[in-house]
Structure formats: C-alpha cells, structure tokens
Amino acid sequence: GEDVEQSLFLSVREGDSSVINCTYTDSSSTYLYWYKQEPGAGLQLLTYIFSNMDMKQDQRLTVLLNKKDKHLSLRIADTQTGDSAIYFCAMGGAGNMLTFGGGTRLMVKP
Amino acid sequence: EAEVAQSPRYKITEKSQAVAFWCDPISGHATLYWYRQILGQGPELLVQFQDESVVDDSQLPKDRFSAERLKGVDSTLKIQPAELGDSAMYLCASSLGDRLAKNIQYFGAGTRLSVL
C-alpha cells in the first residue's frame, strides 16, 4: 500500500519561513492534502493540490509538488507562534480514502 | 459554519469493558469515515461508509470493533471488549463523497480513549 513519510520535528523562529516535507510511494493520488492539528483537536484542512499541478499558493502557504521525485512540500511564510502545531500530508487514493504521513511537529520560537 | 460533531470528547474505561463513540457528520455529506490516531502517529482509516453501506472496513478489527450508520446520517463506533492497546484518539470525518470532486474530508474534534 501507500507509504507516506515525514520528518518528525521542525523548529523555526517567528517571522522565518517554514518548509515541511513529505515523500510518498504511490503516484496514483489525484489530490494531495495538508492538514494541521493543534493539541487535543481534530484535523483542519489547510490546502490541497491537484496532481497535475506543480505549485499552489494560498496566502502565506505555498505547496510544491515534484511528481518525479514523489515529493510534496508545504512552505509557510512569515511563520507565527499560532502556526505551532502538527502538520500532516495526506494522499487521496482509490475510493476517496486518505493515507496520512506520521506528522511533523512545528515549533515556532518567539 | 457546519461541523462534524463527536461525543464524548474523552472516555476512560477499564480493559474488557464496552465503549461507544458517536459521530454526526456535516449535513448532506454522504461519506463518513472513522479513523484511529495513536499518539505520535497519523490517522489510520478504520471504516468508511457511503450512505448506510460499508465501503471499506479492511482495517477494522472485527473481533472487537463494530460500526454502523443505520439511517445513513450519524454513526456509532463500538469496541467490546476494550484492550489496553485501543488507547488512542478516534476521529470521525465526512465528505460529500463526489468521486469527481476533490472530496475534502472534514474532521471532528475526536474522542480520546484511555483504557486502564
């Protein structure tokens, strides 16, 4: 089945850019998603990208998709302390099911 | 703004007891999902419903877990008997279920289960 990998932890200073990376094995996903999870809460959809796109920008968020390398990234510009959370990438597969990575914990230092 | 409702938010139980979680999806969403999220990991799909029918329950431990969505609206996930390894966050999500669309899944706040 699909295997989705993320680095565990990222620490940045407030105002810097954050880049969270994700690699996957199955290239058949039509949509790829980024979700945010704050402590004790459910998952909040941040953004998504269609598989035939290379880049999508949405305010402070930029998603880059490299299909050749099976690599997805999320860049957060001007990172704020409120961005501290766990970020999950997810692949949309057959039957509309999602396969999630293990999550990257982003810590933003003031 | 419409939300996916889940209850209870927290549940503490002893092993071998029965527990049940409830989910009310966003109105009009045909597809409902139950996920289990172990601490420090990403969510894993347990069961997926399309209306009242199970579409995928291949990862559901059927010897102790059951799920139903009798009228195609709200859903219940049950564990009987609970084991220590069942301690996790149980997340419910719903989506329109349109295969031609981006099928965004909206998540509830989850039920955190602790089995003692």
Helical (H) or strand (E) element with B32: strand B31-37
Helical (H) or strand (E) element with A58: strand A55-58
**Chain A residues whose beta carbon lies within 8 Å of the beta carbon of residue B34:** none
pLDDT tens digits for range A5-41: 999 999 999 999 999 999 999 878 888 999 999 988 8
Phi, psi dihedral angles at B86 (to 5 degrees): -85, -10
B45 touches chain A (CB under 8 A): yes
What is the rounded CA–CA span in Å between residue B98 and residue B42?
24
What is the rounded CA–CA span in Å between residue A108 and residue A45?
20
**Residue B48 and residue A97: Cβ atoms within 8 Å?**
yes
pLDDT tens digits for range A55-85: 999 999 999 999 999 999 999 999 999 999 9
A65 touches chain B (CB under 8 A): no
What is the rounded CA–CA span in Å between residue B42 and residue A99?
9
Q: Which of B90, B96, B103 to mutate to test the interface with A (most CBs of A within 10 A)?
A: B103
How buried is residue B34: exposed, middle or buried, by Cβ count under 10 Å (0-12/13-18/19+)? Answer: buried
B99 pLDDT higher than 80: no
A4 pLDDT higher than 70: yes
